[in-house]
Structure 1
Amino acid sequence: MRRHAIGLMGQAFECAHAVLVIDAGIRSCSIKAPVKEQLLCIMTSMWMHRMWTFQEAVLAPDLFFEFSDGLMPARTLLAAASDETDTTIMALKSQLAPLLFRSCMRPAKHAARWEFGWSLGFVSQSLKRRTTSKLEDETLAIARLLDVDSYELVNLPPQDRMSSLLLKLRNIPTDIVFTHAPRLDRPRFRWAPKTFMGHGTALSLNYDAICTPDGLLAEYICVLFPATRFPSSEMLWFLDGLPDGMRAGIRNSGVTQQGITEVTCNAILLKSTDQRLSNDGIAILIDAVDNCGRGGCRMVGTHVMEVAFMPLLGKISQVGNHRIIDALLMAQLPFRLT
């Protein structure tokens, strides 16, 4: 019964004539209160921090907030906020408005016919401050927003839902591998986050990565070095011999798989194409090469851990007992991440 109800939730909000938000925090505010106070009550309410109410906000064709002494349409509230020049009001409105796009940014007569499909980047960004007591429900709560049938996910084992969702999306942001989140512990999907909640990493609009049953296909800036074994307690080491005489400190941001005391890696993938800037990265172990035909090939690498890439000026000095490793190559390369 619960699975059936979950499968219908997105459809219920999308097809409703209107949706009324009833929240104790919002109810504590008067409909006659200043716009800033009303926005603050909404932004700090539990309604804004629960996972399931996210699709309520996004899918509702017409949304109303219940204040202590009356109801207010969301479009009326945002219209009032648009007339204000107060920087706090403008900031609050900029955070709330994207969630209410369907009910506020389009004419009401067209809202019910709107063919939607939110980006994974928008959804992940919106989930960063939301929580749930049942993490396994996360993919079910966002499937409808991503134009994926939640019925197909609800009958899967919870541990298979995130990988199945990503496979159905197929084209995903290349920087999904750099999210600061725990990773799935399953072959060919160790690059994938377990959740989009809590880490607050914004995904780009670059959907050049392709999720396949055999791994993630994408191109990344890569630093290759000899295979090196690191204890998980080794938090800092250095790379020498990078292009243009550049050097870098590499800080271990945390081994993502629990119980691992030692890791081996031979490459770092960087999030930014500007290697002169401090950069999020992941350490991987390249252990195979795919022959793609016509002389092309693709490196096959397994996600090992998150790292921070910190370019250094001048010589590496005062490194103490930290090891220095010579880089072999720095280039943009095609990968299949597993």
Structure 2
Amino acid sequence: MCIKIPEHFLLSRLDDGETRFSLDNLSVLLRDWRYRIRRHGLGEQCRPWAARAYSALFTANSLLTSKLVHPDLDTFRHAGLSAEVMSGILCTSAAMAYALLSVPNIFPLQYRPPSPAPFLFNLFSMKGMSSIRARMSANGWCPFTVSVIDSYGLSALGYASTLPPFIRGSADEHRQCTDRNCGVNNVDVLRYQNKHVHPSCTCAHISVPLEDVHALLDFGVIPVVVPVGANLTIRAASDVPYVAISHVWVDGLGSVTEKGLPLCQVERIAPMVRALVPSGAFWMDSLCIPAERNTRKRAIGLMARTYGEAAEVLVLDAGIRACRSDAAIEEKAVRVLTSGWAQRLWTLQEAMLACNLNFEFSDGITRIEELIPATEEIMDDPLMPSLGMELHRLTTYRERGGVRPQPFTLAQVARALKWRSTSKSEDETLAISGLVGVDAAELVALPSHAERMKALLLGLGSVDPGIITFPGVRLDIPGFTWAPQTLMIHGTANMSIQRNGERTALCTPEGLLGEYAIVQFALTTIEDGTSYVIQVDGQTYSWDAIPFKGPSSYRCNAVLLPQGGLPGRGNATLGASVSVAGFDEEPAKDRLVCTFGRRLWLRDSSEGVAKDSGGTLIVATSGRVRVRLM
């Protein structure tokens, strides 16, 4: 059952003659190990085998932990290795250990030894992460894109660092970008210019008959483009199968019906469309959405239907197109997930509503299914569990058997938006409405983003009670001061994903109705920079304010806790301070009326720690109540 692995399987020789530890053959070894476990891992004889596998992981866990806890005793440091070499060794070792974690779970449950402690292999890479991120940025990677890759795990970051970045213009184009924002993806509409297929091309623009587009949109019909000879004609989408084009404006394909696109771009797109649908019909915002305000609103209101009813959706992105379709599946996944297309607001709905999603690579078109390994294969590659799962999420709303799944919850959409952005904040609700089952046509007529967010929440009805602790600025609308102004909060923890039948809160014009755990106390003025300690039934909790752009002080007399109650020993929970005004009117006289204050953390602490902290003591009571949050 056990075999010895030849040393050369884990080594590779560099061009300068040096030998290094390598993970190049790790997927082969994992595949073979899984095969042998499935073939021989039955009966009592596999108990010691499983024990040895877990023991090796525990040993690796201990050794790597010691390098964090006792850096002065680090063998690598005493050997005189450079910081870069040490970080590389730590990251490689942690990546290998992390990849091995899932394999022992193939053993039958009854033969696995108990796990004495959690594995923390991702934490061991912390010492090496900063050097990898710095090296990637120096090589031209956008710091924001590096943060995106980092979120997929240690193995993904390490692999991406071996790839050259996609450079759209100049090598230093990301010099103004940060780990929270990529400025290159944003466009200035007033100065926007289309790009030709080749920089030297000077061909004229081509457009469609504007009056035909208006005529269809005026009756709520989706217009599609059908090339006929040297001209572009317009037909109703309901009359012909069509391809919906999904792209980002930074690649130079943005426009409006009145202006059209360079002829060379249309000639490049047309053959790809015909390869997907014989009719050659396609929809593209640059040709099918006019600039005229009212008609434009009608077209935007039809966006969800446009992509949901398309026979195929084709993604055009310069970064993805720079990669070949026969490249390693890991590289293709990285190129898609780090593309400008994957970082923009509108393209989320365009992808998730697609019945069939396709990507243009440099040598052809690839379906998304070809980028997602089979379940059996996905665990053989330490990169693919996280990358494959992220790609798989783009298919979860797909219509199957003529039936589309239930709309997403707001929490699920917030999670999907955490690395996306837009040049027009007022577009946010329009771009996600189709995913949550709200009609964009009802939102597009509203005058402001705040009013659209309010209407979206009312259209949803039920939301996760944890929405009151979602990060960011709140709406300045009576009855909705608890509501987030945006769901696009990069890289932060999101609302919990509520399942069908679980507890929800109800959005109404008068406020948010829900049931919460509550900590109540006398009306208190909370000052920024002052420490506070809440005492409930003899137990103390530290009050950790979350930075907020607003007044330096505010008054409150309660904290609402969405996650079920006060934190257990040594734990913390998110809450929201509120001001309780009293009880509601009939027929809900037992419901408290509250005004939203600030987000905060409540952390369990011993009484001794509380006293030593010198914090202002607040004596409180706890319970569970129905509330109307305004």
TM-score of the aligned structures, taking structure 2 as reference length? 0.50
Contact kept? 2:321, 2:361, Cα under 8 Å: yes
TM-score of the aligned structures, taking structure 1 as reference length? 0.91
Contact kept? 1:172, 1:207, Cα under 8 Å: no
Q: Please tell me whether Structure 1 or Structure 2 has the larger radius of gyration of its CA atoms.
A: 2
Residue deviations 1:4-54 (CA, integer Å, cap 9, x gap): 221121111011110111111111211111111111111111111100000
Q: How many residues align?
A: 325
Aligned match of 1:298 in 587, 591, 612?
591
Superposition map of 1:94-113 within 5 A:
94-103=389-398, 110=401, 113=403
Superposition map of 1:172-321 within 5 A:
172-199=463-490, 200=492, 201-205=494-498, 206-231=502-527, 233-240=528-535, 242-243=536-537, 245-255=538-548, 258-275=549-566, 276=568, 277-293=571-587, 297-315=590-608, 316-320=610-614
Note the C-alpha offset of 1:271: 3.0
Q: Choose between structure 1 and 2: higher strand proportion.
A: 1
Contact kept? 1:35, 1:81, Cα under 8 Å: no
Measure the CA separation in 2 of the matches of 1:318 and 1:102.
52
Amino acid in structure 2 at the alignment position of 1:98: R
Is 2:335 aligned against 1:44? no
Is 2:336 aligned against 1:336? no
Is 2:302 aligned against 1:8? yes
Measure the CA separation in 1 of the matches of 2:440 and 2:578.
33
Superposition map of 1:44-63 within 5 A:
44-63=338-357
Note the C-alpha offset of 1:149: 0.9
Contact kept? 1:254, 1:305, Cα under 8 Å: no
Structure having greater relative contact order (Cα 8 Å, sep ≥ 6): 1
Distance 1:3 1:203, change over 3 A: farther
Residue deviations 1:187-211 (CA, integer Å, cap 9, x gap): 1100101111015313330452111
**Pairwise CA RMSD of aligned residues?**
1.9
Note the C-alpha offset of 1:102: 4.4
Give the SS at the match of 1:189. coil
Measure the CA separation in 2 of the matches of 1:303 and 1:247.
23
Distance 1:204 1:249, change over 3 A: same
Measure the CA separation in 1 of the matches of 2:524 and 2:325.
63
Distance 1:69 1:80, change over 3 A: farther
Is 2:418 aligned against 1:135? no
Measure the CA separation in 2 of the matches of 1:25 and 1:204.
32
Residue deviations 1:279-321 (CA, integer Å, cap 9, x gap): 1111100012114549x5111111111111011123322223x
Q: Choose between structure 1 and 2: higher helix proportion.
A: 2
Q: Percent identity?
A: 34
Measure the CA separation in 2 of the matches of 1:3 and 1:254.
37
Measure the CA separation in 2 of the matches of 1:56 and 1:21.
9
Superposition map of 1:56-75 within 5 A:
56-75=350-369
Give the SS at the match of 1:196. coil
Amino acid in structure 1 at the alignment position of 2:487: F
Residue deviations 1:220-243 (CA, integer Å, cap 9, x gap): 111001101123x23531112x13
Measure the CA separation in 2 of the matches of 1:23 and 1:64.
11
